[in-house]
Structure 1
Amino acid sequence: MPTTSPPQNTDELYQALRENDRRPYGRTRTVTAEELVDAAEQFAEPVPLIDALLELQEAYTYGSEPRKSPVVFARLLTLFDEQPDVFDERLRHQLFWRFKWVAGALRALPEIPLASLRQWLTEMRDRYEKAGLDLQPYYGQAYRLAAHLGEDTALAYELWAGRSRSRLSDCEACEICDRALYHLAAGDDERALRAWEPVLAGQESCQEEPARSASYALLPLLRTGRTDEARALHLAGYRGCRRNPSMAGEVGRHLEFCALTGNEARGLELLAENRNLFDEVDSPQDGLDFLTGVEVLLQRVEALGHGELPAAGFPGRTWTVTGLRAEVRGRAADLAARFDDRNGTSAHTDRRSARLDRAPLLDALELTLRTRSLDEVSPAAPLDASVTGSASTARTTAAVPESLTELILQARSLEGEGHPDAQACWARLRTLVAARDYAHPDDPAVGPLLRLRADLLADEANWAGDRDEFADAAALHEEAAGLYDDAGLPGHAALSRACALLATAEIPAEDADGPEAKTERKTEALTTAHTSLVRLHEETSGLTPHQEARLLRLRATALGLRLQTSGNSGTSGNGEHVAPLLAEVDLLHTFATRHDITGQIARALLLRATAHALAGDLPAALTETDGLLDRLREHGPAWHLPRVLALRGRLHLGFQDAQAAHADLSEALRLAADWPADTTDTSRLHAELAEVCMHLGRPEEALRHLTRSAELDLRRGKRIDAFCTYSNAAQLSLDLGRVEDAIALLDSLLAEPDVAAGELDDRLAAQLRLTRARALRAGDDLKAATAEFVALAAESAGWDDDPGSHAMIAAETAVLLGESGEFGQARKAADQALAAHARAPRHEHLSNVLRELARLQAQRQGPDGLAGARAFLTDAGRVADEARAAGYEAHGRSLDTALAYEHGRVNAYAGAHEEALTALEQALTLLGEPGPGPGPEQQQAGEWAECVRLAAAVEGIYLERPAPALTRLDAAVSRLTAAGHTEETEPLTALAARLRDEE
């Protein structure tokens, strides 16, 4: 709500009206407009009041409050009747234009009698005729009423569409949409789409277009097989109407589109994003269109068996899909009946029924980069079970014995082998043991219940460790060890304590000061853990061969983690941490071979290959990996194959053999599908394949792997990792020019509950928003991009630990403000960037931004903007001086050269041509004449040629000195030709020809 004091004079009133006009439509803008009307009534002049009333009617019209729009217009009409001379051509045009707004508002209100609608059209016709205005707009409203009523529209359409347009006709885009809807109602999809072409192609637009047309064109595009166009139109069109109360009907059609293309999960996501529409839409017509689209979606979700899913709905209570559908059905049916009662037809009920009766048009259409099914968003999905680590369900399709005794024995047997299918057994047992009526088998082979509870704790501890929840894992392992002791199983207890030691060593050091200290602390902790593991091994008697092999593997794992943590490359001899690790691996391999423990032999060989890789000995690592793969294919265990193939893929990438890496990683991913989901880190496989695909120049494939990796991490509860990967995917999508895909993906992420509530890492959330702002800019949505950049600049100003990021954000914000013509605000943002730059220099980036701002201001404002533009260039000069003093070298041309060239451009734009020529000649001197050859010389030649061209244009055209300009051009053409840069001579030759023609 407004917090500033009321305007004290008409100048302040008009300033407030301009500021309100920049606000989005909604309650804030509407309330402000109401207050400005109150303020305008205090002044003696009628024109300010008229302008304030016009702003208020616009706020009501586009804020979905049709009941109030006619009331405001009645005041305007009274003022016109009383003081017609006050209305100049501008105000008179606005007044007669808005007769159509009132006609639309009255149609949208079922409580307004049909006779009143017809009476208003008669009033409009009489007023237009009296004013000598063309009646095409009147016939347009008569056609719209006929279409609303469901009457035969042929005659009304011809009376409107057959007339020439006038100054008061609806905009071309709106009329195109109405003509297309006429053909659509007649069942002619192709003709409707042909009519829509200028709007959908962006050739015609207005306040509501192309978003309105896009929402209607979605289903015709699908019915005519143009699915790619429908997908693109959904992404762009939805962004143009989301959360907008005056476009609630359009949102409803996008929800319907999701429901009919197998994108029910996205539909629920979009419904949640637009939950404000349940409360803010005051138009019954818009409300009916919206609610019908919502019902189509909810009906489809319920038909697929997911009626229990939560759904965003009317405020005041929590809704499920089933409950909300019943509520929506009742309200929408009532609205349709009210319109039909008023109109004396069944049109609205019939149209609603037709939408609800439509069958899905496609089983599945991939709408966004983040495609999910209802199973994946369901609270009952396996995701939650696997994330919590309790009652892990459906990790595998392996057969689980019905007999409780067999189930327990099979779980332990599979666990001893390290077989992935053990998880299904433990999951089933966890559910059975938790039941009240559980009866433990009285069988010596099974042992006491105490042992089974210890087994389940150990399994839960292992899952906690896999999720990097090391403190929980250590505690669970210790608890299991205690139960094993009570059950008289010292070997099992020793293994659990060994696992607890290793998990404890991996707990991050929270009190360590900086990354180096954390690394040192963790290295020390792993060294201590290894010592303790060796002692535990030596002090425990009666171990079975399988238990001893596992202890040996834990010892080797501790040293492997130490090598990985320390980053020791082994450049001195075998390396401080390499030799001890290889010695432990040899112990494990020898022991496992002696006792023929196949799984531990494989693990020993994998540890050895990994040790060589960590030590930087890639050839040895590759040799070990090749040998291990041969062994696994011949002797097993087969579930290790994906992991080993992944390692070999990484090694091939280290050898810069991306093709071989792609083959190994793809094979690993294929084989991983044969085993339970958590057997292999498939998220990492997808991420690595994305990297390989980028090396192979296959970015689209990389994008698919990135999004898959992120979604898998999200399902496992690794939200930070998931959002980081999604952020990379969004940036790659933007780099590929898939702007709408990037925006849709980021909108989806930013709508996640923990992100919206500010519970995600604030810097990561800011990065997502920054990428989205850049995508909006790339998509030419300058207004939305600027708003996001301004907000981010304000937030990042408080990042005392990262002034460099604030400098970059504030600088980008300044450029966007400059592109919007708001140079006062751009100056403030640039000053913020300069202040942050003083703490964390960003020489080249800031210099580029300041020069761009100077160019924009001179180009937009001409001589009036020269002082401000020169101020930006002065700042850029100081940045260049600082860079020179710091020994900084720019990646492209020098900052001094770029600055001299920009001085030339800025002065030329502002009409200071002599100063411009002097600056350009300085830039030419700094650049130096280009030498022969491609590469950097080619770029320098292009820059030099452009500088010559601009200097010659200033000299020959604006200073009217063509002779020296031609001399300059001819000499440059000769120099470039001699150096082999013939392409760069073309613009110079063209300018020379122009100058000679003018002579």
Structure 2
Amino acid sequence: MQTAPQTTDELYEALRENDRRPYGRTRTVTAEELAEAAELFGEPVPLIHALLELQEAYTYGSEPRKSPVVFARLLNLFDEQPEVFDDRLRHQLFWRFKWVANALRCLPEVPLASLRQWQTEMRDRYEKAGLDLQPYYGQAYQLAAHVGEDTALAYELWAGRTRGMLSDCEACETCERALYHLAAGDDERALRAWEPVLGGEESCQEEPARSVSYALLPLLRAGRTDEARRLHLAGYRGCRRNPSTAGEVGRHLEFCALTGNEARGLELLAENRTLFEEVDSPLAQLDLLTGVEVLLARVGALGHGELPAAGFPGRSWTVASLRAEVRRRADDLAARFDARNGTTAHTDRRAARLGRAPLLESLELTLRPRTLEDVVPATAPAAPEPAEALPEAPAELIGRARELDEQGHPDAHACWARLRALTTAPDYVHPDDPEVGPLVRLRADLLEEEATLADRKDAHADAAALYEEAAGLYEDAGLPGHAVFARASAVLAGAQVVPPGAAEEDADPEARAAAQVAVFAQAHAELVRLHEQAPGIAPYLEARLLRLRVSARGLRLQASGDREHVAPILAEAELLYDFATRHGLTGQIAAARLLRATTHAMAGDLPTALAEADGLVELLRTDGPAWHLPRALSLRGKIQFGLGDAEAAHASLSEGIRLAAEWPAEAVDVPTLHGELAQACMGLGRHDEALRHLTRSAELELRAGARFDAFCTYSNAAQLSLDLGRIEDCVALLDSLLVEPDVVDGELDDRLVAQLRLTRARALRAGDDLKAATAEFVALAAESAGWDDDPGSHAMIAAETAVLLGEAGEFAKAREAVDQALAAHARDPRYELVSNALRELARLQAQQQGPEGLTGARVFLDDAGRVADAARAVGFEAHGRSLDTALAYEHGRINAYAGAYDEALAALEKALGLLGEPGADADVAGEWAECVRLAGVVEGVYLERAAPALARVEAAADRLTGLGHTEAAESLTGLAERLRDGE
């Protein structure tokens, strides 16, 4: 709170503002300050309101020690001045007797006698006030269940009574009844009792999050795994990082541990690390810590006790050390409660949870299934495993590496990796063997291999430098042919390095493309020169030189998009094919045909490209080399998909993925294969399969260290899941990504992270979590305001933020946000998006505020009018109806909301004139019909001109029916009947 309220009106406004905050320290501290400020006014009613807010903050901020103290002050005020408590305040006071009972149960230092004394106080107060005692019996039952007494009688005394005005809400009582049956071992009856809450029919502040957390294991035991998965995703989101739902978080961790999702459990534990210090309720701590211990015990049992784990602040923890600390604290808490209660209930319940065996070996909970191996701290990548065992002797290993490398065999990478490890060892002794050659040659080989791997990762500058260094060593070793090829490789790698500043937004795209074309043309000329100056080199090296020449031509075509560059590529590819055929170089024969097919595809000649790819696949099936087959199948699948044959593409790509598993990762770009197969799946309507391939692609990219690419792919998966309406899957995936260390530490591209957050905010909105969605949009709008290089994106985010604020009725803040959008739009126009937002804000204000909101709504429409004028001036065309038409319709609708019916009808007739007569397009016909319908309602119902309205509507219905738009005509025929009947 920046300044203390100076009047009671300011105090009430501050209380309302604080009530909109999430529970936690910020809200609690503000409530404390407001309570202190309320004391200064010397008036009881403002103080009562401030104390009620403070008690609520303590209760839902998991500070049970403070809640009873505040309530005692309220009770004293009531005893001293009962007349200042109106019906609402009186209801609040008596309702909160239950809050105090709950708070006292949470504190083991409060004697059992004091808990019973408070219940007696509650009963006496209720009886004196003439209130129903059902809430009292509810508290008596909950105390018996907490202590571990026989609850049968207490349950009947409570559950058998009729609910009253002060009874707990239906959702909370449903949960208590279900827990009674669950404690009795009757899962089926418990789940039946829970149906209204789990099905979304009943809810409150604590529900359904509390019920969901308890129902997860019974659902698994009943075989309802899909329902358990869905509720886990939705339920966890409802309690994450919330001190008042720490016990629920603990049960979600337990659920992860018992379903083979230990890695997700550790991730959720890290996300909720603050709960270790924020939860001040000993009972909630016990519940949380027991769930944490179940998870840690399971991870340890699987042999991962040394994994890092997020625990109590102040030190680093492993799974094993944190488990020991959690066990010590939880055992102590359970013993304290049992000592207070005179039973062993809490120790026994802990033992039962810790003794549960996993219910499922594996249950895929999210779109990002991970194992404990995936969360092991990153180390140096393991050397690729070859198909055959490698020789042990260095001389044999060197010979094998060079033999495989000459063939282009992917197992060569494993040989080079083994040799790199051997040569870096202090005790390495190079073989004294003429066949092996000097050490300098081996060092050149290893440098060339390192350069090749860098080039494949698009680290072209590093690759060029390594190739040049290798060339020098080859010359020292007396191998000019190898030196020429290494130098040629450096030329092509260097040509692909993007010069500093070339990608700046203000650079001319055509100029950049022309510069790239020139660079690749120069690189090709240099490759030809190197080739011509290296006569008599080994055929496999000469074939590789020819292949580099084809690649340079292909890069030029990519940069220019000019079809005149196709023929030179095909000519170079033919040179490579003829040369490879003469010398029996099967790998280069396949490469030449692959380049030929790729060139035809790039040129847009897909039928010819497919014929080439088909021939290549058959060649590889019969003559090999087999390791080229996955790549050829990938190309064929892409071409088939481009030709509209998604089924054939799916078959080719699926086979490519299956065959890729037989070769080292360096041989095939498997992540890309999965991404391409996801596209084919989408084309076939196999959305779930598409999501699996997208997430598989992303996880493989992560393992390969391509984190930016991985997060881009995951972003696509999240967007797809949102498009499919799988809201919880989308949010859970994004929540998992946004807690990755490089995201939290700000090391990942900030715009990519913003895109992930934007998708998450849209998913929250689609899931009707408007409060969370609005908070995220507001934060993103503030951050994107600094994107001077991308004002268009800020315009988009600010516009969406404004609409959400409008939906919440906060039109002053919405005005600020949409003004930001307009300012950014002026720099980088987003005509349709900004216009849509302004019209929607106008509609919302008129709809929510009626005639009082008409002035503000018209201001939004005036802005939309200026946007439409500017769009018309530059010839902008909207995707749907024109901005002018949409604006006229909105003027009609808004004036109708506000009761300005003549203005509404005039605007709707203008919209109809702009739309013109309906034709064959069903969408246009639908818009036209809706416009006629609204005009008919305004004219016939509100302006009471039934005859002309009926004529208008009937003529329009006939017109639509004659055009075959029967569905669009139905709404009009229904209105016509109402007008004829005089409704």
Determine the structure 2 residue equivalent to 1:385. 380
The reply on whether 1:943 has 2:933 as its aligned counterpart is no
The reply on whether 1:769 has 2:757 as its aligned counterpart is yes
- What are the within-5 Å matches in structure 2 for residues 12-91 of structure 1? 12-91=10-89
Q: 1:851 to 1:316 in 2, by over 3 A?
A: same
1:146-172 CA distance string (max 9 Å, x none) = 111122111111111111111111111
Q: 1:338 to 1:437 in 2, by over 3 A?
A: farther
**Kept in 2: contact 1:642–1:667 (CA 8 A):** yes
**Kept in 2: contact 1:569–1:616 (CA 8 A):** no
CA distance in structure 1 between the partners assigned to 2:908 and 2:520 by the alignment: 64
Q: Which residue of the other structure, out of 428, 448, 457, is the alignment partner of 1:467?
A: 457
Determine the structure 1 residue equivalent to 2:904. 916
Determine the structure 2 residue equivalent to 1:988. 972
Q: Which residue of the other structure, out of 511, 522, 539, is the alignment partner of 1:545?
A: 539
Q: CA deviation at 1:560?
A: 3.0
Determine the structure 2 residue equivalent to 1:511. 501
Determine the structure 1 residue equivalent to 2:695. 707
Q: 1:608 to 1:905 in 2, by over 3 A?
A: closer
Q: Which residue of the other structure, out of 116, 127, 130, is the alignment partner of 1:129?
A: 127
Q: CA deviation at 1:892?
A: 2.5
Q: 1:637 to 1:159 in 2, by over 3 A?
A: same
Q: 1:591 to 1:982 in 2, by over 3 A?
A: closer
Q: 1:589 to 1:134 in 2, by over 3 A?
A: same
1:499-542 CA distance string (max 9 Å, x none) = 33322222221132454444444433333333333444444566
- What are the within-5 Å matches in structure 2 for residues 247-286 of structure 1? 247-286=245-284
Q: CA deviation at 1:63?
A: 0.8
Deviates more, 1:649-658 or 1:166-175: 649-658
TM-score by length of 1: 0.94
Please tell me the residue identity of whatever aligns with 1:39. Answer: A
CA distance in structure 2 between the partners assigned to 1:928 and 1:487 by the alignment: 81
CA distance in structure 2 between the partners assigned to 1:926 and 1:499 by the alignment: 62
Report the 3-state secondary structure (helix = DSSP H, G, I; strand = E; otherwise coil) of the residue aligned with 1:892: coil
Determine the structure 1 residue equivalent to 2:367. 369
Kindly report the root-mean-square deviation, in angstroms, between the aligned alpha carbons of the 2 structures. Answer: 2.2
**Kept in 1: contact 2:384–2:413 (CA 8 A):** no
Q: CA deviation at 1:214?
A: 1.0
CA distance in structure 2 between the partners assigned to 1:400 and 1:299 by the alignment: 40
Determine the structure 1 residue equivalent to 2:415. 425
Q: Which residue of the other structure, out of 558, 571, 581, is the alignment partner of 1:593?
A: 581
Deviates more, 1:233-242 or 1:304-313: 304-313
Report the 3-state secondary structure (helix = DSSP H, G, I; strand = E; otherwise coil) of the residue aligned with 2:856: helix
Please tell me the residue identity of whatever aligns with 1:831. Answer: D
TM-score by length of 2: 0.95
Please tell me the residue identity of whatever aligns with 1:713. Answer: E
- What are the within-5 Å matches in structure 2 for residues 513-662 of structure 1? 513-540=507-534, 543-570=537-564, 575=565, 578-662=566-650
Please tell me the residue identity of whatever aligns with 2:561. Answer: G
Q: CA deviation at 1:346?
A: 1.5
Deviates more, 1:833-842 or 1:461-470: 833-842
CA distance in structure 2 between the partners assigned to 1:837 and 1:161 by the alignment: 60
Q: CA deviation at 1:444?
A: 4.0
Deviates more, 1:432-441 or 1:69-78: 432-441
Deviates more, 1:938-947 or 1:187-196: 938-947
Please tell me the residue identity of whatever aligns with 1:86. Answer: V
Q: 1:448 to 1:317 in 2, by over 3 A?
A: farther
Report the 3-state secondary structure (helix = DSSP H, G, I; strand = E; otherwise coil) of the residue aligned with 1:510: coil
**Kept in 2: contact 1:395–1:677 (CA 8 A):** no
Q: CA deviation at 1:782?
A: 0.6
Report the 3-state secondary structure (helix = DSSP H, G, I; strand = E; otherwise coil) of the residue aligned with 1:42: helix
1:924-975 CA distance string (max 9 Å, x none) = 34434435xxx41x33333333333323333333334444444444444444
**Kept in 2: contact 1:298–1:325 (CA 8 A):** yes
CA distance in structure 1 between the partners assigned to 2:303 and 2:475 by the alignment: 48
Q: CA deviation at 1:385?
A: 3.3
Determine the structure 2 residue equivalent to 1:389. none
- What are the within-5 Å matches in structure 2 for residues 777-792 of structure 1? 777-792=765-780
Determine the structure 1 residue equivalent to 2:390. 400
Q: 1:923 to 1:588 in 2, by over 3 A?
A: closer
1:294-322 CA distance string (max 9 Å, x none) = 11112222222222222211111222222
Q: 1:93 to 1:515 in 2, by over 3 A?
A: same
CA distance in structure 2 between the partners assigned to 1:421 and 1:979 by the alignment: 67
Report the 3-state secondary structure (helix = DSSP H, G, I; strand = E; otherwise coil) of the residue aligned with 1:327: helix
CA distance in structure 2 between the partners assigned to 1:705 and 1:180 by the alignment: 40
CA distance in structure 2 between the partners assigned to 1:804 and 1:302 by the alignment: 50
CA distance in structure 1 between the partners assigned to 2:965 and 2:520 by the alignment: 62
Deviates more, 1:157-166 or 1:592-601: 592-601
Please tell me the residue identity of whatever aligns with 1:710. Answer: A
Please tell me the residue identity of whatever aligns with 1:623. Answer: A
Determine the structure 2 residue equivalent to 1:184. 182
- What are the within-5 Å matches in structure 2 for residues 789-938 of structure 1? 789-931=777-919, 935-936=920-921, 938=922
CA distance in structure 1 between the partners assigned to 2:517 and 2:966 by the alignment: 61
Q: 1:271 to 1:87 in 2, by over 3 A?
A: same
CA distance in structure 1 between the partners assigned to 2:610 and 2:960 by the alignment: 52
CA distance in structure 2 between the partners assigned to 1:74 and 1:467 by the alignment: 68
Q: Which residue of the other structure, out of 475, 486, 496, is the alignment partner of 1:496?
A: 486
CA distance in structure 2 between the partners assigned to 1:402 and 1:222 by the alignment: 52
Q: 1:851 to 1:75 in 2, by over 3 A?
A: same
CA distance in structure 2 between the partners assigned to 1:463 and 1:260 by the alignment: 41
1:591-643 CA distance string (max 9 Å, x none) = 33333222222222322332333344434433333332222222211000111
Q: CA deviation at 1:355?
A: 1.4
Q: CA deviation at 1:332?
A: 1.6
Report the 3-state secondary structure (helix = DSSP H, G, I; strand = E; otherwise coil) of the residue aligned with 2:563: coil
Q: 1:892 to 1:307 in 2, by over 3 A?
A: same
Report the 3-state secondary structure (helix = DSSP H, G, I; strand = E; otherwise coil) of the residue aligned with 1:363: coil
The reply on whether 1:290 has 2:285 as its aligned counterpart is no
Q: 1:499 to 1:952 in 2, by over 3 A?
A: closer
Please tell me the residue identity of whatever aligns with 1:892. Answer: G
Q: CA deviation at 1:250?
A: 0.8
**Kept in 1: contact 2:384–2:665 (CA 8 A):** no
**Kept in 1: contact 2:678–2:690 (CA 8 A):** yes
Report the 3-state secondary structure (helix = DSSP H, G, I; strand = E; otherwise coil) of the residue aligned with 1:238: helix
Q: CA deviation at 1:650?
A: 2.1
Please tell me the residue identity of whatever aligns with 1:850. Answer: L
Q: CA deviation at 1:395?
A: 4.1
1:435-478 CA distance string (max 9 Å, x none) = 44444444444344444333333322222221111222223333
Determine the structure 1 residue equivalent to 2:443. 453
**Kept in 1: contact 2:64–2:280 (CA 8 A):** yes
Q: Gapped runs of 5+ residues in structure 1?
A: 387-391
Q: CA deviation at 1:997?
A: 4.2
CA distance in structure 2 between the partners assigned to 1:449 and 1:86 by the alignment: 96
CA distance in structure 1 between the partners assigned to 2:597 and 2:929 by the alignment: 56
CA distance in structure 2 between the partners assigned to 1:48 and 1:667 by the alignment: 73
1:317-368 CA distance string (max 9 Å, x none) = 2222222222222222222222122222211121112112111111211111
Report the 3-state secondary structure (helix = DSSP H, G, I; strand = E; otherwise coil) of the residue aligned with 1:385: coil
CA distance in structure 2 between the partners assigned to 1:583 and 1:121 by the alignment: 94
Determine the structure 2 residue equivalent to 1:698. 686
Identity of aligned residues (%): 76
Please tell me the residue identity of whatever aligns with 2:546. Answer: L
Q: 1:402 to 1:811 in 2, by over 3 A?
A: same
CA distance in structure 1 between the partners assigned to 2:646 and 2:842 by the alignment: 45
Report the 3-state secondary structure (helix = DSSP H, G, I; strand = E; otherwise coil) of the residue aligned with 1:178: helix
